[in-house]
């Protein structure tokens, strides 16, 4: 007698239900999805990237233009995502991540482009090719790039530059794709070769007009040589740049005027600048000085232009292989992140960020040398091609 295979026997209703595919879970309300996504820590941008891969609706949510604004409203100040640099080590990536989880950005090749500034969602690079003098404005979040020719083509030595947003009413929490300006600064020999003096010039490029404005000139006995890239924007119209010899260059964009003054003597008495510029806590101009193993904060009085020491941040608690560094370990200040009040320092114990208000110290990576570090600040959200086209 033949037996019917068990696989062909009639299935009972309960067995049939067991092998049927489960019904899809109910779709979460859009508001609940956003509440979930907002709570992904902003210093773990890889989390948002993974979330965007869950489904189309989540991808659309995190790539929406208003999502970064909501992140700012929910979390407050954006994180420092990492740093652009000019270190001469091929083993170090072009972008040094400062986030909790591994993270990278498609940075312009540092062997071709020198990072000089980053502000308001844009980074500024100067070409290293002497035959193609141009600037590059790059948006870390969107990847957008725009090349800008320098205003002069001549042997002008070391230059510096700065970039900033010019959108009306923008609070710079989510500015990308809008209008911006670039300030380009350089020094040249005076037209009279016998007077032993120099001309320092500044010029402003507007993305709205696509053109450079007129040069602002300052004639004097000092050659403004820019070995280190450190600039700060105070208010809406005052830009300050670090120059060699302890001089600070001020460019008043509203009045189209250039002037200079000295940093506190202790900041340049060693022969090289031992400070970087920053906004003072009262809103004016400030700076942070290396004072091993501490950081000395200074502010400049608006009324009489005096430098006033404000407070000291103690870094003596940093440890190297479990042992405190002590007073013999030098501290080098490499950068400052505007908008979030974060100082970047390097020591034998590694590279660290220091939050000024809380004095919270976070280790980023090993020490790789001494050079410019340009912090990249912002809420990173994935930008699919569709979203990029609409942005």
Domains of the chain, by residue range, sit at 30-390
Angle between helices 67-75 and 30-38 (to 10 degrees): 60
Instruction: Give yes or no for residue 161 having a pLDDT over 90.
Output: yes
The predicted pLDDT at position 366 comes to 78
Check residue 320 and give its pLDDT.
Answer: 47
pLDDT in tens, 323-354: 455 555 688 899 999 989 999 998 878 888 99
Give the tens place of pLDDT for each residue, 267-298: 888 777 789 999 998 889 999 998 878 899 99
What is the per-residue DSSP string for 116-164? EEEETTEEEEEES-TTS-EEEEE-TTT--EEEEE-S--S---S-EEEEE
Q: By three-state DSSP, how is residue 265 classified?
A: helix
377-390 residue pLDDT tens: 998 888 754 444 44
For the entire predicted model, the pTM comes to 0.84
| pLDDT (tens digit per residue) in 36-71 | 888 888 888 888 888 888 888 888 888 887 888 888
Nearest to 130 by CA among 158, 160, 163, 88: 158
Give CATH for domain 30-390.
2.120.10
What band does 153 get if pLDDT is binned at 50, 70 and 90?
A: low
pLDDT of residue 125: 94
What percent of the chain is predicted at pLDDT more than 70?
A: 83
First-last CA distance in the chain: 74
Looking at residue 283, its pLDDT comes to 86
């Amino acid at each position: 007698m033949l037996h019917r295979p068990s696989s062909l026997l009639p299935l009972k209703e309960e067995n049939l239900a067991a092998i049927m595919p489960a019904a899809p879970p109910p779709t979460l309300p859009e508001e609940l999805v956003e509440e979930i996504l907002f709570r992904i820590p902003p210093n773990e941008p890889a989390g948002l990237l993974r979330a965007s891969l869950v489904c189309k609706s989540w991808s659309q949510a995190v790539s929406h233009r208003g999502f970064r604004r909501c992140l700012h409203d929910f979390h407050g100040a954006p994180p420092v995502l990492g740093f652009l640099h000019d270190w001469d080590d091929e083993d170090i990536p072009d972008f040094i991540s400062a986030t909790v989880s591994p993270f990278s950005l498609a940075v312009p090749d540092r062997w071709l482009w020198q990072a000089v500034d980053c502000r308001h969602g844009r980074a500024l690079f100067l070409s290293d090719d002497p035959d193609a003098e141009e600037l590059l404005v790059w948006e870390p979040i969107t990847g957008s790039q725009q090349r800008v020719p320098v205003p002069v083509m001549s042997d002008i030595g070391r230059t510096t530059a700065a970039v900033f947003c010019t959108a009306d009413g923008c609070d710079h929490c989510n500015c990308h794709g809008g209008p911006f300006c670039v300030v380009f600064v350089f020094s040249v020999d005076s037209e009279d070769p016998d007077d032993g003096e120099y001309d320092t010039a500044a010029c402003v490029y507007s993305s709205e007009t696509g053109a450079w404005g007129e040069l602002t000139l300052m004639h004097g006995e000092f050659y403004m040589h820019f070995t280190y890239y450190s600039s700060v924007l105070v208010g809406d119209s005052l830009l300050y740049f670090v120059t060699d010899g302890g001089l600070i260059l001020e460019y008043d964009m509203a009045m189209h005027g250039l002037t200079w003054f000295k940093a506190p003597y202790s900041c340049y008495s060693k022969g090289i600048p031992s400070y970087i510029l920053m906004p003072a806590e009262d809103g004016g101009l400030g700076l942070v000085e290396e004072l091993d193993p501490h950081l000395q904060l200074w502010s400049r009085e608006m009324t009489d232009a005096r430098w006033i020491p404000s407070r000291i941040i103690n870094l003596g608690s940093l440890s190297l292989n479990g042992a405190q560094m002590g007073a013999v370990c030098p501290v080098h200040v490499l950068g400052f992140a505007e908008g979030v009040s974060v100082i970047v320092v390097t020591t034998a114990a590694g590279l660290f960020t220091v939050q000024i208000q809380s004095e919270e110290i976070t280790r980023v990576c090993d020490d790789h040398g001494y050079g410019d570090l340009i912090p990249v600040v912002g809420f990173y959200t994935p930008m699919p091609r569709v979203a990029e086209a609409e942005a």
